[in-house]
Structure 1
């Protein structure tokens, strides 16, 4: 197995307007995606964040320290080539949204779910025009088709970069409602992440903390907060 690793070959980066967006250059050479497409992003702030990640690299390039670059690459190489499929995948969460599947016991958990999740369903009804209804148990009960159609239209309306970030907001939380709530600043992103872990937090309170599960939750939280940052960068129009 080869031990070859990419090394820093440039002195400085630059952000330049190009083709209706912004590109990043390293010593005058345009940065490309892994699929060899031009790395063009919709906002200057996103481009500046990517340039900062490249500037922060030292001798060896470490992609794990370049999350904005990674998500932008995904938006261009993956989401842009299958936008409708990705949007449909995410919109489908509306029919099985985490916030709608409730416990029938114990009373403390039932009450906590109602107190913390019902306000988010109310928010979705008021802001998104989509009233989702809670169910007791884990058996799937379809939501109203018109409601799902409205959520699907909103999801499809996101551009490639917004959708790439939105993918992680929804898939990590298990909730289309929480994904939209994070994207639209309904609440602090960290608070929304905590809402998505209500059941896990309850279990921890009853039985104690599992170290491995806690570590994994921390990784997912960081990814959720990064996705929120990416969504904001995608909308940081100038």
Structure 2
């Protein structure tokens, strides 16, 4: 045991520990006092001491189409202490990602959501135990029925993990629902899709077929069943809480753009 502890001490700065140390050292100092929101041509911007913010990578001016989004970003900038910690700024990170991606990525973002929908979380079911089967049927079938009725599509759920092709007409119809959506909508939808494993839930959320809480519950049917059996691991709970922050941030973008 002593040898193991000594070895661990020698490598305390390897991997995760080193990354954490680097993050502590390399966080930039706060360089501004005042944070504001201002209207400009094409939308709204956040200002730091009167100067418009830019993305950290390509230094692109950040203009968002809704005042509510700019306000959340400004609140994140204002909440920074002596150092600027990007991990505590989910809206700023999401919007910077969208701006740096550029409009040229819109077709790829649409395809990404539909790709997930074609192999959606809700379409692959367990065959046992019965409690999980019943919970999947209760939550996921209800969601699929709403989507089918609203969009005039149909799905073919399957048991197990072997790929089941979905009707191409249904996928084409869902793709049509994303035509004309802007970069910020699609960035939010791609993030929600990745966090939930479901393009169908993301599309349904955008079209107000589901609430955010309903989407989150549907995305975690399997995980919640396992928690009910074995309890929740502390690290897993922390990761889930962080994912929920990212999810809620993307939902806030959609809410602001609807308004």
> Given the alignment of the two structures, is residue 87 of structure 1 paired with residue 110 of structure 2, yes or no?
yes
Q: Is the 8 A contact 1:99 1:134 kept in 2?
A: yes
| Cα gap change, 1:207 to 1:44, in 2 (>3 Å) | closer
Residue correspondences, number: 236
Q: Output aligned runs, 1:38-187, within 5 Å.
A: 38-187=61-210
SS at the partner of 2:177? helix
Name the TM-score, length of structure 2 as normaliser. Answer: 0.83
> Given the alignment of the two structures, is residue 33 of structure 1 paired with residue 72 of structure 2, yes or no?
no
Cα shift readout 1:201-228 (whole Å, capped 9, x = no counterpart): 2222234433333332222222222221
| Cα gap change, 1:87 to 1:16, in 2 (>3 Å) | same
RMSD: 2.0
| Cα gap change, 1:157 to 1:132, in 2 (>3 Å) | farther
> Given the alignment of the two structures, is residue 204 of structure 1 paired with residue 204 of structure 2, yes or no?
no
Q: Distance in 1 between matches of 2:218 and 2:254?
A: 19
Q: Is the 8 A contact 2:120 2:198 kept in 1?
A: yes
- Tell me the CA shift for residue 180 of structure 1: 2.0
Q: Is the 8 A contact 1:79 1:163 kept in 2?
A: no
What is the match of residue 9 of structure 2? none
Structure 2 residue aligned with 1:221, among 237, 241, 244? 244
Q: Is the 8 A contact 2:98 2:187 kept in 1?
A: yes
Q: Distance in 1 between matches of 2:225 and 2:32?
A: 50
Q: Which consecutive unaligned segments of at least 5 residues does structure 1 have?
A: none
Q: Distance in 2 between matches of 1:154 and 1:118?
A: 21
Q: Which consecutive unaligned segments of at least 5 residues does structure 2 have?
A: 1-21
Q: Distance in 1 between matches of 2:28 and 2:46?
A: 18
Between Structure 1 and Structure 2, whose CA radius of gyration is higher? Answer: 2
Name the TM-score, length of structure 1 as normaliser. Answer: 0.90
SS at the partner of 1:58? coil
- Relative contact order, higher structure (CA 8 A, sep 6+): 1
Q: Is the 8 A contact 2:125 2:160 kept in 1?
A: yes
SS at the partner of 2:81? coil
Structure 2 residue aligned with 1:16, among 10, 13, 38? 38
Cα shift readout 1:42-67 (whole Å, capped 9, x = no counterpart): 01111122122222223222222221
| Cα gap change, 1:63 to 1:114, in 2 (>3 Å) | same
- Tell me the CA shift for residue 4 of structure 1: 4.8
SS at the partner of 1:186? coil
